[in-house]
Amino acid sequence: MATSIREFNIGLYKEHLSEASFLYEQRLAYLHDPEITWPSLREWEERFEAHIDALVIGGDLALDICRQQAADGDSGEMHAALRVFCRQGRKEDAFALLRALDAANDDAVRAAAEALRWEAPREWVDELLRLAPRDQPHLTRVLAQVIGFRRFASEPFLKSSVATVPPTALCDVAWAMGRVGTAASVSALWLLLDGQDDRVCEAAAIALLRLGDERPVQRAMGDAGARSWARRVLAIAGPPKSARVLFDALKQQPADCAAVLGLGLLGDLSAIWPLVDLLENEDLGEAAAVALNTITGAGAYANVFIPDKVDPDELSSEQREAYDRDGTVPLRHGQPYGNWERRPLRDKESWRAWLEREKTRFNRAHRWRMGKPYGPAALAACLKAETTPFDVRSATYEELVIRYGLDVPFEAELPVLQQARFLRKIDEWVAARSDAFVQGRWYFAGQIQG
C-alpha cells in the first residue's frame, strides 16, 4: 500500500507504462488478425494514447519512471518510454536508450523503430543518422524505418548503408530507398537483387519497381519457380502472363500461400476455379478464400471454430495420459477449448453457387479487384474496405504506386486516423485521373503493359 503521494504516483506511472506496453503488443498482433478490421484498431490506439498523455503530463517523476522502465522493463514499456522522451523533447534520454539497444533483441529493435516512426522530431534527424556506426547496424535498421515512414530525404545515408549492414537491416534499407530514393539508388538496389536472401531481394525489387524500373519483373518471371520473392513481385507488378507463371509455381511449390494470394492480387478470372479447388486444402485453403474475395468482392465469410493449441505440459495427469494415447484433448461442454472466429468462407459449394449466380457480372477480357474492373478506383476501394486483410492492403498500396504512379504517402501500419486522412487524399488523386486509365487493363508506371 502506498504510504505517500510520491509512492502512489510512482505506482501509477508504472501502471501507465505496463498498460501502454500491453496495448502496443495487442495492436501489433491485431494488425494481422483475420478477425479484426483495420478501423477497429482505433480503439486500441486511443487507449494507448491516454496512457502516453498521462506520462507526458506527469513531469519529472514520470520521466524518471520512464527511464527506469526503459532499462528494466519489456520492449513495450521501452517503446512507450521512448515516445514520451520524443514528445518531451528529451533528446539525451532518447539517444541513450537507442545506444543501449540490444542488437540481438528483435522485439526491442522493432519497438524502438515503431516509436521513432511516429514521434521523432524532425530536428533530430541529422543527429539520429550519426548514431548508426558500423558496429551498431541494428540502429541503421531503426533509422531506415524512420526515414521510410516519415519520407525524410536521406538517400545518401541509405545508399552508404548498403555495403555495411547485415541482411536483417538490408530489408529495411531497401524498403526505405523505395520510399525516398531516386534514380541514384537503382544501381545499389540491383546489387541487392543478386543476393540469396528472399526478403532482401523482395524489398529491393519492389523498391526498384516503385522507382520505375521494370526489369525486376523480367527477373521474377524467370525465378518464380524457385524464389518466393519473385512470386510476390509478379503479384504486385507482373504482366498478363504472370497468372500462368504463378500456376506453374504452385505445381513446384505446393504449399506456397504467396502464390495463391498473388493470383487474387492479379485479378485474372482464369484463377477462379483453381482457387475454388484449393479451398479445402489444409495449408492453402484460407489464402485461396482471401484471393477469391479479393477478385470478386463477394465478401464471403463464415464463423469458424478455432481450437486452442494444446500444451501437454499444462494438462492434468489424466488428461496427459489420454492426449499421449490417442490425441484426446480436454473438452468444455462437450467441445474442445477455443473460439468462434470470422474467417473467409472455404465452402466449395457455397462459392460455386455464388459464382454461378454472379457470373454475368464479370468479363474475362478484364482483370478484377473487389468485384470491379481493376484500376485506381477499385484499388482505392480495396484499401478502404474494412475486411481487406493487412497483406492485401499493403500490396494494394504498392500496386497503386508501381502501376499508376500514386504519389500520396501511405502505409497499412499507420494509425487509423492517419490512414483515414491519407485515404481521402488517395480518393482525390483517383478522382482527378478518372479518365487517365482504361479500367481492367494491365499497367506499369502509368503505361499499358503486355
CA nearest to 138, candidates 164, 119, 160: 164
Residue 344 corresponds to which amino acid?
Answer: P
d(CA 161, CA 164): 5
In angstroms, how far is CA 276 from the centroid of its own chain?
A: 26
**Could you give the 3-state DSSP secondary structure of residue 85?**
helix
d(CA 309, CA 304): 15
d(CA 37, CA 31): 8
Let me know how many helices (H) and strands (E) the chain has, helices first: 23, 8
What pLDDT is recorded for position 331?
66
**If you count them, how many residues does the chain have?**
450
Residue 209 corresponds to which amino acid?
Answer: L
> Which residue has 522507382 as its cell numbers?
211
pLDDT tens digits for the chain (450 residues)? 556 889 998 999 999 999 999 999 999 999 999 889 999 999 999 999 999 999 999 999 999 999 999 999 999 999 999 999 999 999 999 999 999 999 889 999 999 999 999 999 999 999 999 887 766 888 999 999 999 999 999 999 999 999 888 878 899 999 999 999 999 999 999 999 988 899 999 999 999 999 999 999 999 999 998 899 999 999 999 999 999 999 998 888 777 898 999 999 999 999 999 999 999 998 999 999 999 999 999 998 887 666 767 667 666 677 666 666 666 667 666 677 666 678 899 999 999 999 999 999 999 999 999 999 999 999 999 999 999 999 999 999 999 999 999 999 999 999 999 999 999 999 999 999 999 999 999 999 999 997
What pLDDT is recorded for position 243?
93
What pLDDT is recorded for position 147?
96
- 385 — phi, psi (to 5°)? -60, 130
What pLDDT is recorded for position 425?
98
CA nearest to 204, candidates 166, 175, 237, 245: 175
Provide DSSP, 168-227.
HHHHHHHHHHHHH--GGGHHHHHHHHTSS-HHHHHHHHHHHHHTT--HHHHHHHHHTTT-
Task: Say if pTM beats, i.e. exceeds, 0.75.
Answer: yes
What pLDDT is recorded for position 319?
66
Q: How many CB atoms lie within 10 A of CB 286?
A: 21
Give per-residue burial for 317-331: e unless 16+ CB within 10 Å, then b: eebeeeeeeeeeeee
Task: Give just the sign of the alpha carbon dihedral 395, 401, 406, 411.
Answer: positive
CA nearest to 450, candidates 213, 186, 231, 218: 218
What pLDDT is recorded for position 315?
66
Based on the number of CB atoms within 10 Å of its own CB, is 408 exposed (0-12), middle (13-18) or buried (19 or more)? middle
What pLDDT is recorded for position 234?
97
d(CA 166, CA 109): 14
d(CA 186, CA 177): 9
What pLDDT is recorded for position 342?
80
Beta-carbon contacts of 150 under 8 Å, excluding residues fewer than 6 positions away, are 117, 120, 122
Q: Hey, what's the cell of 399? A: 500496386
